Structure 1
Amino acid sequence: MSRALFTEHELAALRLLAQGRTQVEIARTLRIRPETVGRLLNRARILLRARTLPHAVARGYETGVLGPPPHDHGAGQEEDRPSGPGGPNRGQEAAG
């Protein structure tokens, strides 16, 4: 799917929605009315052939409209990070 089908406002609203922002927060950020945000997101949802707004975000990532999904730092990388006082290796220093 081509980003050219979307207006900059539609893409901006969809990106903010993907970040977990509410329609009111998106409206404040883009300096538009919440009703306008609803229309922008609805049109993006239709273009993405999504049933719901969360589905539109998922489809946005699947189709590349939103770019690659954010990298998940949580899976299998604890050994690469230093452990603080409350980290996963808590209490193991004294045991060794």
Structure 2
Amino acid sequence: MSRALFTEHELAVLRLLAGGRTQVEIARTLRIRPETVGLLLNRARILLRARTLPHAVARGYETGLLTLPPNEQGPPQLP
């Protein structure tokens, strides 16, 4: 999967979602509307050919679009 297909905002919202943030939390962090977060995540989901947002996160890791921090052993766990 080529990073060139994704905008910086799409990558940012996908990374935050992978880190366990909600759409409202992502919106506050990036100072954008929650609706905009939803649109960005939906486009990222489509580009990743994922059925759901959790599937999009998994596909992000599978394709190398998302990477784990060096000290992590696996995908981030939700609280």
Query: Which consecutive residues of structure 1, in runs of 5 or more, have no partner in the other structure?
Result: 74-96
Instruction: Give the alignment's Cα RMSD to 1 decimal.
Output: 1.3
TM-score, structure 2 normalization: 0.86
1:72 aligns with 2:69: no
Determine which structure has more spread, i.e. the larger CA radius of gyration: 1
Number of residues paired by the alignment?
Answer: 72
* 1:14-56 deviations in Å (ceiling 9; x for gaps): 0000000000000000100000000000000000000000000
- State TM-score, norm by structure 1: 0.72
- 1:1-96 alignment, distance < 5 Å: 1-67=1-67, 69-70=68-69, 71-72=72-73
**Larger relative contact order (Cα-Cα within 8 Å, sequence gap ≥ 6):** 2
Q: Percent of pairs identical after alignment?
A: 88
Q: Which runs of 5+ in 2 are unaligned?
A: 75-79
